Amino acid sequence: MMIIAQITDLHVVAKDRLCYRRVPTNAQLAQAVTHINALDPRPDAVIASGDLTDHGREAEYEMLREILAKLIPPVFVIPGNHDQREVLRQAFASAGYMPAPDAPFMNYAIEQFPIRLIGLDTTVSGHHHGMMCEDRLRWLDRTLGARPDAATLIFMHHPPFRTGIQWMDASGLHGGRKMQEIVARHRQIVRVACGHIHRPIHLVWGGTIASVAPSTCHQVALDLSAGDGFGFIMEPRAIQLHVWDPGYGLVSHLSYVRGDYESVSMLSGATDEVRSEVITQNRRDYAELCRTEYDAKVSDGR
Ligand SMILES: [Fe+2]
Ligand SMILES: [Fe+2]
């Protein structure tokens, strides 16, 4: 098993500042870090899918590094449209996985886990839209072709598809259709995990599942009309937990970051004896399902 926590759209600002003069993005990221560290079992790796800072300034990356330094699992970062590729690269130069300083894009593959992680840099300097240009498409095709049997999660900032939130789709990805053809040719991709939209979204795309994770700070209001939108909303902040189950594939959960969510045990009214009986029976039922169903070899019917 491997657990990958996806955090996205952190929008970290300089110390003691607020994002949009009202959202405490730094404190909210710190809460997400505490949340991840406290998970049991703890994730094996964290991927941060862009918009790590709000303006791409050095002071913001300093703050980002300070907050992420508290994360116990290793973290892998890629840029979003609010980042500055070069400033980000310098801030994380010592991380060991960054491409060489003369590489035009921050694309890389992480090979040390049961799931291969491919980080894609979709940013276009000075613009909010994203781009999979011919260079980046070729790099992706070649990198996927190098390990066709390794279950692979691709993470990128801009979703390579239209989401229906039109004002956000306007700053979407150019080259997504070409990327879709490449993804469809490589059958080992178990997820294309994105950010940018600040909402949980998923669809079948290129023969795999593509998804967007919600933000660790503010969310984008759900507005599927042709209206002017541009609204953000303080809906619950969350991270995505991608759990690798070799028997089934990548199972993804939404995990809400700290809030006043009431948590009640369904056994709270039971006596100790009944509780212990129910738990024992439940474990027996789970073991039985593992034996006959979950871990059973699938017959091909012949
Ligand atoms: Fe964002
Ligand atoms: Fe973005």
Total Cβ atoms within 10 A of residue 250: 20
The Cα angle at residue 6 between residues 140 and 241, in degrees rounded to 5: 115
Nearest listed ligand to the Cα of residue 158: 2
C-alpha 233 – ligand 1 centre gap (Å): 13
Show the tokens assigned to 8. 């996205």
C-alpha 282 – ligand 2 centre gap (Å): 44
Q: Can you tell me the mean pLDDT for 267-284?
A: 95
3-state secondary structure of 125: coil
C-alpha 276 – ligand 2 centre gap (Å): 49
Nearest listed ligand to the Cα of residue 124: 2
Q: Can you tell me the mean pLDDT for 167-177?
A: 96
Note residues around ion ligand 2 (Cβ under 5 angstroms).
51, 80-81, 196
C-alpha 238 – ligand 1 centre gap (Å): 14
C-alpha 197 – ligand 2 centre gap (Å): 7
Q: Please give the mean pLDDT across all residues of the chain.
A: 95
Residue 180 binned pLDDT confidence (cut-offs 50, 70, 90): very high
Work out the percent of the chain whose per-residue pLDDT is above 90: 91
C-alpha 251 – ligand 1 centre gap (Å): 24
C-alpha 242 – ligand 2 centre gap (Å): 21
Q: Can you tell me the mean pLDDT for 48-68?
A: 98
C-alpha 166 – ligand 2 centre gap (Å): 14
CA 159 to each of CA 21, 155, 195: distance values in angstroms, whole numbers, following the listed order:
27, 10, 7
Show the tokens assigned to 183. 């993804």
Does 104 or 227 have the greater pLDDT score? 104
pLDDT of residue 261: 84
User: For 18-41, what is each residue's pLDDT tens digit?
Assistant: 998 899 999 999 999 999 999 999
C-alpha 220 – ligand 1 centre gap (Å): 9
CA nearest to 93, candidates 58, 50, 136: 58
Give the type of residue at 277. E
Does 228 or 154 have the greater pLDDT score? 154
C-alpha 72 – ligand 2 centre gap (Å): 26
What's the CA gap between 259 and 236, in Å, rounded? 8
What's the CA gap between 139 and 147, in Å, rounded? 13
User: For 66-100, what is each residue's pLDDT tens digit?
Assistant: 999 999 999 999 999 999 999 999 999 999 999 99
C-alpha 40 – ligand 1 centre gap (Å): 28
What's the CA gap between 122 and 125, in Å, rounded? 10
Flag whether the pTM goes above 0.85. Answer: yes
